[in-house]
Amino acid sequence: MLFKQIIGQDFLKEKLVNMAQTGRISHTQLFVGPEGSGNLALALAFAQYVNCLQPLTEDSCGQCASCVKFQKLVHPDLHFTYPTISPYKQSKELAEDWREALLKNTYLSDFDWLQTLDNNANKQGNITREECREIISKLGLTSYEAKFKTQIIWQAEYLDTAGNILLKLLEEPPLGTLIILVASNTERVLPTILSRAQTIKIPKLTDSDIELALQKDHQCTPQKATDISRLADGNYNLALSLLEIEHDGYFETFSQWMRFCFSGKVDELQKWVDEISGSGREYVKNFLGYTSQMIRAAFIYKYGDRQLLRVNEQELQFLIKFSSFLSAGNLSEITTSLDDAVYSTERNANLKILFLNLSLYIGRQLKSAQKAA
Ligand SMILES: [Zn+2]
C-alpha cells in the first residue's frame, strides 16, 4: 500500500513519513481511527515505507523487492492477526481469505470480515489465546529479509483477557520488530495494552475527501458522490456499501417504514417487516444507519442550524413534514433504539422480531411527540 493510494489524511501521512525518516519509530504503536477512516490502510503504508529499500521523500518506491511483496501482502516478514471464528483458532488458517478481502477493500470493517467467514454472521469474532501465543513465537524468530519484522494486529478490540499474554512482548518487542495494533475504538481496547503502545489518532475523513475518491476511483457522477458522502459521514467503507446498493432505495424504504410505524396498520407493517428481514444483514445494517441519520437530520431541521443538513432535495421534502413527529424528548429514545438494533443485527438477532418490536416502539414515540405538540 502506498501512501498516495490512501484517501485524504495528508497531515498523518506526512507525520508518519517524518517519523520513519528521523528514525523515531516506536516499536509498539496503536493506530486508532473510526471505521472507514483508513486506519488499517495507513498501518500498511507505514509498514511498507519503513521497509522500502529505496524510499522516496513522501512515499515508498513501490518497485523494490520489499515493496512488491508488501503490495501483494506476501512478504515473509509481514504478519497479520485478525479476529477469527470457531472452529478457527489462528489467523494463519484464514490467510488466503484475509488476503483476498484486504486486497479487495483496505477499508473493510470487522463486520464485513466476519461476514466473509460466516454469511449469517452468527458467530462471535475473537482473537484467541492460541493466536497470542503464535504471535509471540513468530516474533521470537529472526526475520527473513525485512528491516522491520512487522506484526499488524487488526481490531485490537477483540483481544480480551487473552491479550494480557502479549503484554511483555508489547512492552519490549525483539530488536528490529514493529508491532502495529489497529483499532476503531480505544474504549474497547484493554487498558493494559493501551498503556504499552504509542497512539496515532486518525480522524474520520472529510466529505470532500470521500467525494473526490468516489469520482476518481468509482466513476461516480459529482451529484451522486455528494449525496453518498453526506450519508457516509466520513466512513469510506460505508460510502462503498452505499455505492453498491443504490441508496435511493433506502429513502423509499425509510419513508414507507415511518408511515407504517405511525399508522399502526399491522398488516402493512408485517409485510414491510417480512421484506426488510429478507434483505440480508449487511443491507439491514446500512439501512438502519441511514434511518438514524434521517432521524437526526429531521431533528436538525426542527431545532438546529439548517445549514448543517446533509440531505438531498427529496429527503428534505420528507423531513419537513416528518420533523413535526419528533420532539426533544423522543429523539434520543429513537436513535438509541436504532443503535441497539444495529448491534443486535450484527449479533444474529431474529430480524423479524427485531423490526416488529422496533416499529411498534418508534410508532409509540412518534405519536407521543404529536400528542405533546
Ligand atoms: Zn520500495
- CA 215 to ligand 1 centroid distance, Å: 28
Determine the distance separating the centroid of ligand 1 and the alpha carbon of 107, expressed in angstroms.
23
Residue 321 lies in a domain: yes
| Same-domain status, 142 and 31 | yes
Cα(60) to centroid(ligand 1), Å: 5
Element containing residue 182 per DSSP (H, E): strand 177-183
- Output the pLDDT for position 286: 84
CA of 237 to the centre of ligand 1 (A): 27
How close is the Cα of 337 to the center of ligand 1, in Å?
49
Q: Please, what is the Cα angle at 116 between 37 and 68, to 5 degrees?
A: 60
Q: How far is the CA of 20 from the centre of ligand 1 (A)?
A: 14
Q: Report how far residue 367's alpha carbon sits from residue 283's, in angstroms, rounded to the nearest whole number.
A: 28
Evaluate whether residue 328 is within a structural domain: yes
Structurally, the chain folds into a number of domains equal to 2
> Residues near 117 by Cβ (< 8 Å), separated by ≥ 6?
84, 85, 88, 94, 97, 123
Domain boundary, last residue among 204, 234, 266: 204
Q: How far is the CA of 63 from the centre of ligand 1 (A)?
A: 5
Q: Which of 204, 230, 262 is the last residue of a domain?
A: 204
32: helix, strand or coil: strand
Four-point Cα dihedral 312, 317, 321, 322, nearest 10: -30
**Which of 179, 204, 229 is at the close of a domain?**
204
Torsion angle of the four alpha carbons 87, 91, 96, 99, in this order, in degrees rounded to the nearest 10: 140
Residue 17: domain span: 3-204
Give the Å distance between the CA of 34 and the centre of ligand 1: 29
- Ligand 1 centre to CA of 53 (Å) is 5
Q: What is the pLDDT of residue 283?
A: 83
Which stretches of the chain drop beneath a pLDDT of 70? 119-122, 245-248, 372-373
Residues 42 and 153 placed together within one structural domain of the fold: yes
Tell how far the Cα of 98 is from the centroid of ligand 1, in angstroms: 23
Residue type, 364: R
Per-chain residues with Cβ under 5 A from ion ligand 1: 52, 60-61, 64, 67
- Whether the CA torsion 351, 266, 335, 323 is positive or negative: it is positive
Q: How far is the CA of 70 from the centre of ligand 1 (A)?
A: 9
Based on the domain organization, do 189 and 74 belong to the same domain? yes
CA dist., res. 123 & res. 241, Å (int): 22
Helix 248-263 and helix 313-322, axial crossing angle in degrees, nearest 10? 10
C-alpha 48 – ligand 1 centre gap (Å) = 7
pTM, 2 dp: 0.72
Instruction: Strand 177-183: give its sheet, edge to edge.
Output: 78-81, 149-154, 177-183, 28-32, 198-201
